[in-house]
Structure 1
Amino acid sequence: MLAPVHVDLNALFEPGRAEASGWRRMPAVAREAMVATSHSQATRAGLRALERGGNAVDAALAAAAMLTVCEPGDNGVGGDAFAIVWDGEQLHGINGSGRSPGRLDGREASEYGPTSVTVPGAVRLWADLAERFGTLGLDAALGAAADAAAGGVVCTPRVGDKWRGAERAPMPAPAVGETYAMPELAATLRRIASEGPAALYEGEIAAAIAAVCWLAEEDLEAHRSEWVEPLRRRYRGVDVCELPPNGQGVAALLALALYDGLDPDLHSEIEAMKLALEDARAVVHDGPLPDDLFDEERLAGRRSLVGADRTLDASFVLPRGGTTYLCAVGGNGMAISLIQSLYERFGSGVVAGGTGIVLQNRGAGFSDDAGHPNALAPAKRPYHTIIPGMLLEGDALLGPFGVMGGPMQPQGHFQVVRRLVDEGADPQAALDAPRWRVEEAGYVELEPGLAAEAGDLRARGHEIRIAASQHGFGVGQMILRLGDAWIGGSDGRGDGYAGAI
């Protein structure tokens, strides 16, 4: 038996490796259909759904279910989900976020633990998408994921590294290359496949969830997804589409609107994002946006705060969180942008006994300010981080995109769209380009690929740090129209790929 080749796994996360070739990664190109996810097994699950005759939504649901097994710290049956669907002619948005308990009895939401849990909405969203747009059925979407949870999947370097850093993981982190199984989750997935979403929102599983947190069984039974009209804002000829609140997609649209009028440089990008994040945290809640948010007079006033040689001391509190994002397109012109999450790594840290379901801690998204529109109230949805995106050109589909990662999500959307529109980058190049991230402490963190910009930014007053970890900059996916074909990319910071048929 041959001895294994020694692989320095720690080197996988070292920034700026000198031995990199200097050449770029090619985008994927396909004629009929494509799936892009952050994990290879999830992409394969989506492709198999397409090969069985399914459409883009069927592929996305199969991939989404598989990701609950392959990336268990970032998403799961106990979390929420959002999606935007292009049905070939028009957009449809669906908000799959859950609410706080209908009865609070004086209790306050916490960051973690039983009183951080909100109703998990992902399963209901899966079922609603399957019923309205799918062709194979929810049961077909869950089969491969259930088999993987029962038989085990191999831990990748990225998943293992994040798992080891999770404070509330319900089981020890597997080593890279080690197979881990989740038999209780497998049984739950099979039960949902056979009984539908009622298997989670009623009966034994609902009782198990209610037994370990502040939710009541009635809260789970009452949960419904909400079909919504996506927000749509044009940026230099491309319509960028995001879901309305309670998600933070409006922050990406605000950043683009503010930047379109400032000097085109990295300093202006960062300052526009600061203003957008500040605005979003002030107005996003479980309700409509202010009518004047995008009025040109108001935007001009906000832009006037940006100076060429000074930095804004914007005041905002950023959310945290971990997420997983995927997208799929089909030969019939259908496209879907889907994102799901437990919020922080392994969410609340609370597991519903006997089910394998890790419950999210979205209750931490409520504001501590009792007078804020995002303050906790009964049966209310909190400020939400996860945001799927879609791009249109006039009335025609360009394609789905997204960048996961808590506070990085609107920042990632802004940067990826700008690379695409302003620089003509293809999807893979736009995703692989180095990113920056505004932090609530006031500093800006740069990926190593932007280190050369640090001197100029410091001269303008920015506190700059060069990142030592890639995890804070998100993982994105994108698929766009290319004539009669598709061109797509999968973020090199993740474990996935854009696969085609």
Structure 2
Amino acid sequence: MRDFHAPGRSPVLASHGMAATSMPAATLTAIDILRQGGNALDAAIAACAVLAVIEPQSTGIGGDNFCLYAPAGTGKVVAMNGSGRAPAGATPEKLRADGLTAMVNTSAHSVTVPGAVSAWEKLNKAHGKLSLAQILAPAIKIAEEGHPVHGRVASDWESAAPKLAKNAAAAKHFLKDGKAFAVGDKFAQPALAKTLRAIGERGAKAFYEGEIAADMVAALQAAGGTHTEADFAAGLDVAEFVTPIQTRWKGMDVYQCPPNGSGLLVLQMLGVLGQCETPEGGPLGVTRLHRHVEAARLAYRDRDGFLADPSQVEVPVGKLTSDDYTKQLRALIRDDVAMRELPPAGMAEMLPKHKDTVYLCVVDAEGNACSFINSLFESFGSGILAEKSGVMLHNRGFGFRLQEGHPNCIAPNKRPMHTIIPGMVMKDGRAIMPFGVMGGHFQPMGQTLFLTNHFEFGLDLQESLDLPRLFPYAGKLQVERGIPASVLDQLSRLGHNCELIDKPHGGGQAIFIDHARGVLVGASDPRKDGCALGY
């Protein structure tokens, strides 16, 4: 039971259906779809489409999607990889000829063909109950009428204003008198509404072929991209159902999407941490935080060395998540000192900056559970707006490398290393918790912090999301302000280079399914503007 004298909120409880997203209007949309007869997947797509309108810095139809879906009564988890591929003309030689020595976040070369719309349609056809037109109707209405800008959205928007100013169309439609939209300003996207309506009426083909695709291609070619309408037409079928990866942890099965996503880091870190006894001092104790950071440093080292598109490069998932290998990693972690240097793995290099994403989850009355994540990567993606269609294009290709021989080197029709990772916990053949934590590269760290907060240290779902976070990044240990000064001092003495960060790490949602009592328990991260609702 939480301290009701202290700031915070309780988990949300319900018995029929529940949704948790990063914006109230999106959560309400999901609940409305459930009440209209849609299932958890319908509600997730509808909520995500709304977020594409009202949280435009984080997500959109110009981005990518990953999903884990657990249909009730099947004991199975379905995984969707909705990440797009680089255009056919994207070669390292072409980029170097254009003067690039590394990927640039605002370059058209960092825009892969968006995969989200392909994924939405395939998920809807395979597992949905309502039509795309019904599902997208709430987002279309909001895009036409406008919606007031919320606090976290406004903060991110202000930070991204210089990027938006670089693109004439983005500056025209996403800045007001040269400045970001402020809290309470109403923001409408009529061009995006028209595009969403076309997708609802004619399906994903309306996005990947014809005038909408032509508009996106024109915007990218004007910015120096190699994209063609043929590249976009090929993107219609880019999303694919894949076999999820999993690990056994504390009597539960934790599921992730396979590479090119980075869910294997979650499994790897849980494998390492699962070999440790629960330390004294609680979830904010120095030993717990130190071990978690060290496990993360090792896992992210391996990610930078090996994670890439498995259709073009072999990714040793089995080895990296095996008991033998995680035992070797555990043996490297000492409680009395941080590792000064990590043992070599691949070609690890400094990570790019943190990114923006939306994560949401829905559980319906039948027990179907959906874990859903959609992203533009960085805030407002590439900052390149296809003006006629209203599509802001992501910059997921910024995750590529230009080093020849690196498994994640850019190549034609290749998928980049991806950060967005939905999570699902199963027990005894039933889904017990769809969950996720946003925040670009932070996501595996965030997921494992959340899972251990709840299942190991006994915090309730909301407390598990609320707890202050930290993340090893670029040689520093980035910490939120809520971690006690005494703990930071001890971490520094162990050898960690601690620094306070301006914006908090990520944001997350989760819904726990209490099968024994027939109760749904939902939580939403205070680092975002959203909430959990149930009925």
Query: TM bucket by the smaller chain?
Result: over 0.9
Segment of structure 1 superposing worse, 421-430 or 308-317:
308-317
Q: 1:227-268, CA deviations, whole angstroms, 9 ceiling, x for partnerless residues? A: 011111122222211100001111111111112224642211
1:305 — aligned with what? 332
TM norm structure 2: 0.87
1:39-58 correspondence to structure 2 within 5 Å: 39-58=23-42
**Aligned counterpart in structure 2 of residue 150 of structure 1, from 134, 144, 150:** 144
Find out whether 1:174 has 2:181 as its counterpart.
Answer: yes
Distance 1:500 1:157, change over 3 A: same
Given residue 408 of structure 2, which amino acid in structure 1 is its aligned partner? Answer: N
Assess if the C-alpha contact under 8 Å between 1:248 and 1:384 holds in 2. yes
Q: 1:361-392, CA deviations, whole angstroms, 9 ceiling, x for partnerless residues? A: 11110123211111111100000011000011
Structure 1 runs (4+) deviating above 4 angstroms are none
Segment of structure 1 superposing worse, 286-295 or 74-83:
286-295
Mapped to 1, the partners of 2:510 and 2:13 lie a distance apart of 12
1:216 — aligned with what? 228
Q: 1:371-420, CA deviations, whole angstroms, 9 ceiling, x for partnerless residues? A: 11111111000000110000111312111000001111111001001111
1:133 — aligned with what? 127
**Aligned counterpart in structure 2 of residue 65 of structure 1, from 30, 33, 49:** 49
Give the deviation of 1:433 after TM superposition: 1.3
Q: 1:15-52, CA deviations, whole angstroms, 9 ceiling, x for partnerless residues? A: xxxxx942542111111110100000100111110111
Assess if the C-alpha contact under 8 Å between 1:436 and 1:447 holds in 2. no
Assess if the C-alpha contact under 8 Å between 2:264 and 2:321 holds in 1. no
Q: 1:416-467, CA deviations, whole angstroms, 9 ceiling, x for partnerless residues? A: 0111110122221111111111112333424424444101111111111233
**Aligned counterpart in structure 2 of residue 97 of structure 1, from 64, 83, 87:** 83
Give the deviation of 1:468 after TM superposition: 3.2
1:157-236 correspondence to structure 2 within 5 Å: 157-166=151-160, 167-169=162-164, 170=170, 171-172=174-175, 173-213=180-220, 214-223=226-235, 224-236=238-250
Segment of structure 1 superposing worse, 43-52 or 433-442:
433-442
2:350 — aligned with what? 317
Q: What is the aligned length?
A: 480
Assess if the C-alpha contact under 8 Å between 1:448 and 1:466 holds in 2. no
Find out whether 1:247 has 2:233 as its counterpart.
Answer: no
1:50 aligned counterpart, secondary structure? helix
Q: 1:324-372, CA deviations, whole angstroms, 9 ceiling, x for partnerless residues? A: 1100001111010000111111111111131110111111101232111
Given residue 259 of structure 2, which amino acid in structure 1 is its aligned partner? Answer: P
2:459 — aligned with what? 425
Segment of structure 1 superposing worse, 461-470 or 343-352:
461-470
Given residue 255 of structure 1, which amino acid in structure 2 is its aligned partner? Answer: M
1:366-445 correspondence to structure 2 within 5 Å: 366-445=400-479
Q: 1:48-74, CA deviations, whole angstroms, 9 ceiling, x for partnerless residues? A: 101111111111111010000110011
Given residue 61 of structure 1, which amino acid in structure 2 is its aligned partner? Answer: I
1:15 — aligned with what? none
Q: 1:266-296, CA deviations, whole angstroms, 9 ceiling, x for partnerless residues? A: 2111101111111112111100531422233
1:76 — aligned with what? 60
Mapped to 2, the partners of 1:98 and 1:24 lie a distance apart of 39
2:376 — aligned with what? 342
Mapped to 2, the partners of 1:416 and 1:398 lie a distance apart of 15
Residue ranges of structure 1 left out of the alignment (5+ in a row): 1-19
Given residue 220 of structure 1, which amino acid in structure 2 is its aligned partner? Answer: F
Mapped to 1, the partners of 2:264 and 2:481 lie a distance apart of 25
Mapped to 2, the partners of 1:457 and 1:273 lie a distance apart of 15
**Aligned counterpart in structure 2 of residue 34 of structure 1, from 9, 15, 18:** 18
Distance 1:216 1:66, change over 3 A: same
Q: 1:188-221, CA deviations, whole angstroms, 9 ceiling, x for partnerless residues? A: 1111111111111001111111112221111111
1:284 — aligned with what? 307
Mapped to 1, the partners of 2:384 and 2:432 lie a distance apart of 40
The share of aligned pairs that are identical, in percent, is: 38
Mapped to 2, the partners of 1:329 and 1:234 lie a distance apart of 23
Mapped to 2, the partners of 1:197 and 1:468 lie a distance apart of 39
Give the deviation of 1:79 after TM superposition: 0.4
Segment of structure 1 superposing worse, 365-374 or 461-470:
461-470
Segment of structure 1 superposing worse, 248-257 or 450-459:
450-459
**Aligned counterpart in structure 1 of residue 509 of structure 2, from 462, 470, 477:** 477
1:234 aligned counterpart, secondary structure? strand
Give the deviation of 1:316 after TM superposition: 4.5
Mapped to 2, the partners of 1:29 and 1:415 lie a distance apart of 23
Assess if the C-alpha contact under 8 Å between 2:117 and 2:204 holds in 1. yes
Give the deviation of 1:299 after TM superposition: 2.0
Segment of structure 1 superposing worse, 340-349 or 297-306:
297-306
Segment of structure 1 superposing worse, 342-351 or 255-264:
255-264
Given residue 175 of structure 1, which amino acid in structure 2 is its aligned partner? Answer: A
Segment of structure 1 superposing worse, 263-272 or 100-109:
100-109
Mapped to 2, the partners of 1:447 and 1:421 lie a distance apart of 24
1:362 — aligned with what? 396
1:423 aligned counterpart, secondary structure? coil
Mapped to 2, the partners of 1:352 and 1:468 lie a distance apart of 31
Mapped to 1, the partners of 2:372 and 2:484 lie a distance apart of 29
Mapped to 1, the partners of 2:356 and 2:305 lie a distance apart of 22
Give the deviation of 1:104 after TM superposition: 3.0
Assess if the C-alpha contact under 8 Å between 2:470 and 2:477 holds in 1. no
Distance 1:23 1:343, change over 3 A: closer
Assess if the C-alpha contact under 8 Å between 1:69 and 1:76 holds in 2. yes
1:351 aligned counterpart, secondary structure? strand
Give the deviation of 1:485 after TM superposition: 1.6
Distance 1:450 1:231, change over 3 A: farther
2:251 — aligned with what? 237
Distance 1:289 1:454, change over 3 A: same
Assess if the C-alpha contact under 8 Å between 1:343 and 1:360 holds in 2. yes
Mapped to 1, the partners of 2:437 and 2:484 lie a distance apart of 19
Give the deviation of 1:102 after TM superposition: 1.5
**Aligned counterpart in structure 2 of residue 275 of structure 1, from 298, 301, 316:** 298
Find out whether 1:352 has 2:403 as its counterpart.
Answer: no
Find out whether 1:107 has 2:94 as its counterpart.
Answer: yes
